[in-house]
């Protein structure tokens, strides 16, 4: 029952989930609450970017050779600082850092490893398009001692929670702990995330496709055939699909999660350093794959279920086809040469 029509806060929802989870000790609730505090701090800076000198670049490059935005760095350090002091985390791995960042103080270590894409879509900051934060939470394998890479290079099916914040026309949190997907919208007047999208389920088949068609020349032939197929009129089967592409994974994913459809970032021959495409397995594909499956959707690299793929390195990239189950199954048929 909500108070005076306030609605259900994310804390109430977390505590309710915790009560329904026999082994829950509240540590996850506290950890997610710290991620929420970090997101509120980031959201405040995102909303005033451009008014203060937080736009633009730091002049440094990340491990991919990409220019680091000031807001990228701010988001990364804010999240790491917040989760490091919960006493429930032993390490953080970030898309922005070459290696795992361990919690140094033995008194403040716990069983969780947090993986983050601190500011996804940061190239869109300067044009005021929506951007986001992606997080993935795993339990370490060992009981104690230094966190080793093999404790992180594990299948996405081992995640205990995953979600994202989207800083758009409204600020939202969407997450799963393996019991469905729920969405919360920030009420700026209260500073509270309120339950706004209960038990999100993606339509079985959509009418939207999201891909950067500027990479057309670099795609494999089956991908080209599939996109041509989506654009070929066949009203009885809902085609042509509409093309929607924001260029921020979280935003494109969120729209397709609610409306149905497919997001693709195929392998392409554009950059020899990125033969498997641009998106990272641990920081982007795996957390969104956990979410989409919990919402009744599917996520594949074109052949394999994303959640079954074991990374070889911390920054592995992977082709990504994610969204409505019938659409993902269809593109897999094209890639397997079973459809043309």
Q: Contact region for ligand P6P (CB under 6 A) — 24-32, 80-88, 241-249, 292-300?
A: 241-249
Residue from 130, 123, 126, 164 nearest 251 by CA: 130
Other C-beta atoms closer than 10 Å to the C-beta of 252 total 24
Stretch that binds ligand P6P, among 33-41, 75-83, 144-152, 244-252 (CB under 6 A): 244-252
The strand pairing partners of 320, in sequence order, are 265
Cβ neighbors of 197 (< 8 A, separation 6 or more) are 172, 174, 182, 183, 184, 185, 258
278 is a site residue for ligand P6P (CB under 6 A): yes
Shortest Cβ 174–ligand P6P spacing (Å): 15
Q: DSSP secondary structure string, 266-306?
A: ---SS-TT-TT-S-BIIIIIHHHHHHHHHTT-EEESSSSBG
Tell the residue number behind the tokens 């009420």, with chain if given.
Answer: 187
Direct distance between the N- and C-terminal alpha carbons of the chain, in angstroms, rounded to an integer: 53
Choice between 55 and 85, CB closer to ligand P6P: 55
Residue 75 or 84 having the CB closest to ligand P6P: 75
| 175 or 283: CB nearest ligand P6P | 283
Tell me, residue by residue from 170 to 209, as one string, x for binding to ligand P6P by CB under 6 A and - for no binding.
----------------------------------------
Residues touching ligand P6P, count (CB under 6 A): 8
Nearest-angstrom CA–CA distance, 174 and 154: 23
Residue 123 interacts with ligand P6P (CB under 6 A): yes or no = yes
Asked if 248 interacts with ligand P6P (CB under 6 A), we say yes
> Under the rule (CB under 6 A), what is the footprint of ligand P6P?
120-121, 123, 212, 247-249, 278
């Amino acid at each position: 029952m909500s108070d005076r029509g306030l609605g259900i806060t994310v804390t109430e929802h977390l505590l309710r989930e915790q009560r329904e989870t026999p082994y829950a000790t509240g540590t996850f609730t506290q950890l997610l609450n710290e991620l929420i505090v970090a997101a509120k701090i980031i959201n405040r800076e995102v909303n005033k970017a451009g008014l203060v000198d937080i736009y633009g670049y730091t002049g440094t490059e990340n491990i991919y050779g990409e220019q680091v935005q000031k807001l990228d760095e701010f988001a990364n350090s804010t999240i790491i600082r917040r989760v490091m002091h919960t006493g429930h985390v032993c390490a953080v791995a970030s898309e922005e850092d070459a290696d795992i960042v361990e919690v140094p103080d033995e008194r403040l270590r716990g069983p969780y490893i947090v993986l983050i894409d601190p500011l996804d879509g940061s190239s869109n900051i300067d044009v005021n398009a929506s951007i986001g934060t992606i997080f993935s939470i795993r339990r370490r394998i060992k009981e104690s001692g230094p966190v080793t890479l093999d404790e992180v290079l594990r299948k996405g099916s081992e995640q205990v929670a995953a979600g994202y914040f989207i800083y758009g026309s409204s600020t939202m949190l969407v997450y799963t702990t393996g019991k469905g997907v729920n969405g919360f919208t920030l009420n700026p007047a209260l500073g509270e995330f309120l339950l706004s999208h209960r038990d999100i389920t993606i339509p079985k088949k959509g009418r939207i496709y999201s891909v950067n068609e500027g990479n057309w020349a670099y795609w494999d032939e089956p991908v080209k055939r599939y996109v041509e197929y989506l654009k070929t009129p066949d009203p009885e089967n809902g085609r042509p699909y509409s093309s929607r592409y924001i260029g921020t994974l979280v935003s494109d994913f969120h729209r397709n999660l609610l409306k149905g459809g497919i997001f693709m970032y195929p392998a392409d021959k554009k950059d020899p350093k990125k033969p498997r495409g641009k998106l990272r397995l641990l920081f982007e594909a795996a957390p969104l794959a956990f979410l989409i499956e919990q919402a009744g959707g599917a996520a594949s690299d074109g052949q394999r279920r994303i959640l079954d793929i074991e990374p070889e390195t911390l920054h592995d990239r992977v082709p990504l086809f994610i969204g409505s189950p019938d659409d993902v199954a269809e593109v897999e048929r094209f890639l397997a040469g079973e459809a043309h």
